[in-house]
Amino acid sequence: MTDSLRVLVYSDDATTRRQVVQALGTRPHPDLPGLEFVEVATAPIVISHLDAGGIDLAILDGEATPAGGLGIAKQLKDEIDDCPPILVLTGRPDDAWLADWSRAEAAVPHPIDPLRLTEPVVALLRARLDASPHP
């Protein structure tokens, strides 16, 4: 098993990034390795990190400006082979259809609720680990 899982957290708002990191903590589930966070504030840096590889999950803020996480998610899914799973933070629960359009694997509405965020994150990371080739 890997030592840690790298989770990219994108938002132009440092408070939102901090809320996500604090909600998940470094060990959201005892069956998973610890988490290492990569906090990003701009879309070009998100794309750069995902192009480079080594990210196990991307959490993208759909309310970020000037580039929203939903559009970035769609671009990543269209352009990156073996794109890691993406969770988008939506403005409200009714925006879940936008997450479907973006091809994100999961969506969680603002405000950040630790329990509501942790459940899909754990599921996506487990699926990612299960899909990884084992030595």
Helix (H) or strand (E) holding 16: helix 14-24
- What is the structure's pLDDT at 99? 87
Domain boundaries of the chain, sorted by first residue: 4-131
Task: Please calculate the CA angle 36-9-123 and round it to the nearest 5 degrees.
Answer: 70
3: which 2 tokens?
């030592």
Going by C-alpha positions, the residue among 126, 130, 108, 104 that lies closest to residue 117 is 108
DSSP string spanning 30-82? Answer: TTSPEEEEEEE-SHHHHHHHHHH---SEEEEETT-SSS-HHHHHHHHHHH-TT
Q: Is the separation of the CB atoms in 72 and 98 below 8 Å?
A: no
Tens of pLDDT, residue by residue over 36-92, are: 999 999 999 999 999 999 999 999 999 999 999 999 999 999 999 999 999 999 998
CATH number for the domain formed by residue range(s) 4-131: 3.40.50.2300
- What is the structure's pLDDT at 12? 97
Tens of pLDDT, residue by residue over 77-117, are: 999 999 999 999 999 888 888 889 999 999 999 999 999 99
For the CA atoms of the chain, what is the radius of gyration?
14
pTM for this prediction: 0.95
| Band of residue 133 on the pLDDT scale cut at 50, 70, 90 | low
> Please, what is the angle between helix 14-24 and helix 114-131, to 10°?
70
Whether the pLDDT of residue 135 is over 70: the answer is no
